[in-house]
Amino acid sequence: MIRMEQRTLGRTGRDVSVVGQGTWQLGGDWGEVRETDAFAVLDAAVESGVTFFDTADVYGDGRSEQLIGRYRKDRPDADILVATKMGRRADQIPENYVLDNFRAWNDRSRTNLGVDTLDLVQLHCPPTSVYSSDAVYDALDTLVAEQRIAAYAVSVETCAEALTAIARPGVASVQIILNPFRLKPLDEVLPRAAEAGVGIIARVPLASGLLSGKYTADTVFAPEDHRTYNRHGEAFDQGETFSGVDYATGVAAAAEFAGLVPEGATPAQTALRWIIQQPGVTSVIPGARSVDQARDNAAAAALPPLPQSTLDAIGELYDRRIRAEVHARW
Ligand SMILES: NC(=O)c1ccc[n+]([C@@H]2O[C@H](COP(=O)([O-])OP(=O)(O)OC[C@H]3O[C@@H](n4cnc5c(N)ncnc54)[C@H](OP(=O)(O)O)[C@@H]3O)[C@@H](O)[C@H]2O)c1
């Protein structure tokens, strides 16, 4: 097993690898993933030094959690921190974010993951008002007192939601979209999270794969893949698909991004390297659908930091091609 750089995940006080593993794909929501392949992806990540998995109760309606639960049982030596999420199996109304529902949601995740106490539970992009509800945080504190969960956190769509949650003393970490096509959290969220001792989990780091540079205008995604059916936010927040960037714009910008890649790295690894060197980031959680992707992503942790000239060129690319589409929205 390779040893990867570890960082403390905010107020959990626990260390996680700087490259973690996103597991939305393992639920089957990006097209079919067979069970043996899913285990192989998790194993490739762990063998490459990953000690942090991100999942949710809704990924494959529990399949992703169940696979992780079984994997973790097989590999007790791996010492993985599993962050799950709750809330999106219910109607998205603030009235559903109450203690009794939280208990029921936690209990289902505890069964799926095969643990008494969940390591970390994140509110899964709930309606905005939920982030400022005292009753919600009181209920989350109760779950900790009941030892259903060891710690709680939030996953957010916008910088404003992140700042609301960071102000609460019990929030361990914030999960937010951050990548070379999504720069706003750099100035608006990361410094405030660092001051407060709140961890930052960077999701959608490859802009749903765009930053790998492998797609063209003609690429066809599977019908059950959100990159087919959620391009304009038809099913959930548009920002979750290609990071909210129009597909044609993203393909053109990704081709330019590929021109900035240092020797010995791929565009996907360069995007991940860029994220993990941003002050305040704890862990980046790329999703992978194959063993090779999981290994390549983990290897980004060992790349040298990108030079200032590359950081400047990425900022310039964002300003020229991407900013107008996304900066004001999220
Ligand atoms: N609301 C929330 O809280 C929320 C929302 C979204 C995601 N997440 C979490 O964040 C994780 C990461 O985000 P994401 O999976 O949506 O997007 P992502 O990591 O930006 O993109 C994942 C896609 O990138 C491609 N890819 C991955 N590694 C690659 C490599 N080394 N080389 C080339 N291509 C590569 C694959 O595309 P192909 O399938 O085309 O090969 C993969 O499906 C998720 O898995 C999930 O755990 C949370």
**Cα(201) to centroid of ligand 1, in Å?**
13
d(C-alpha 174, C-alpha 122), whole Å: 8
Query: Strands 21-22 and 15-17, how do they pair?
Result: unpaired
The protein residue whose alpha carbon is closest to atom 44 in ligand 1 is: 22
The protein residue whose alpha carbon is closest to atom 31 in ligand 1 is: 293
d(C-alpha 303, C-alpha 264), whole Å: 9
Count how many domains the chain has: 1
Task: Assess contact for 79 and 56: CB atoms under 8 A.
Answer: no
Q: Is 212 in the pocket of ligand 1 (CB under 6 A)?
A: yes
Q: Is 119 in the pocket of ligand 1 (CB under 6 A)?
A: no
Task: Assess contact for 275 and 202: CB atoms under 8 A.
Answer: yes
Instruction: Decide if 256 is inside a domain.
Output: yes
Which amino acid is located at 208 in the chain? S
Q: Is 25 in the pocket of ligand 1 (CB under 6 A)?
A: yes
Instruction: Decide if 157 is inside a domain.
Output: yes
Q: Is 209 in the pocket of ligand 1 (CB under 6 A)?
A: yes
Instruction: Decide if 168 is inside a domain.
Output: yes
CA 108 to chain centre: 21
Instruction: Decide if 313 is inside a domain.
Output: yes
Q: What's the CATH number where 124 sits?
A: 3.20.20.100
d(C-alpha 144, C-alpha 205), whole Å: 30
Instruction: Decide if 76 is inside a domain.
Output: yes
DSSP helix/strand/coil, 142: helix
d(C-alpha 300, C-alpha 304), whole Å: 9
d(C-alpha 182, C-alpha 163), whole Å: 17
**At which residue do the structure tokens 């900066």 appear?**
327
Task: Assess contact for 46 and 13: CB atoms under 8 A.
Answer: no
The protein residue whose alpha carbon is closest to atom 30 in ligand 1 is: 293
Q: Is 20 in the pocket of ligand 1 (CB under 6 A)?
A: no
CA 207 to chain centre: 11
DSSP secondary structure string for all residues of 56-105: -TTGGGGHHHHHHHHHHHH-GGG--EEEEEESTTS-S-GGG-SHHHHHHH
Structure-derived torsion over alpha carbons of residues 240, 242, 243, 246, reported in degrees to the nearest 10:
-120
Q: Give the single-character DSSP code of 15.
A: E
Q: Is 286 in the pocket of ligand 1 (CB under 6 A)?
A: yes
Which amino acid is located at 130 in the chain? V
Distances (CA, A) of 22 to 65, 284, 321: 12, 9, 27
DSSP helix/strand/coil, 16: strand
Q: Is 64 in the pocket of ligand 1 (CB under 6 A)?
A: no
Instruction: Decide if 1 is inside a domain.
Output: no
Element (H, E) at 173: strand 171-177
Torsions phi, psi of 251, nearest 5? -65, -45
**Cα(129) to centroid of ligand 1, in Å?**
27
Taking each helix axis from N to C end, the angle separating 267-276 and 247-258, rounded to the nearest 10 degrees, works out to 90
Q: Is 273 in the pocket of ligand 1 (CB under 6 A)?
A: no
pLDDT in tens, the chain (330 residues): 899 999 999 999 999 999 999 999 998 777 778 899 999 999 999 999 999 999 999 999 999 999 999 999 999 999 999 999 999 999 999 999 999 999 999 999 999 999 999 999 999 999 999 999 999 999 999 999 999 999 999 999 999 999 999 999 999 999 999 999 999 999 999 999 999 999 999 999 999 999 999 999 999 999 989 999 999 999 999 999 999 999 999 999 999 999 999 999 999 999 999 999 999 999 999 999 999 999 999 999 999 999 999 999 999 999 999 999 999 999
pLDDT of residue 29: 74
**At which residue do the structure tokens 């570890």 appear?**
6
The minimum-distance atom of ligand 1 relative to the CA of 209 is: 24
pTM, rounded to two decimals:
0.98
The range of the structural domain enclosing residue 11 comes to 6-326
d(C-alpha 274, C-alpha 314), whole Å: 9
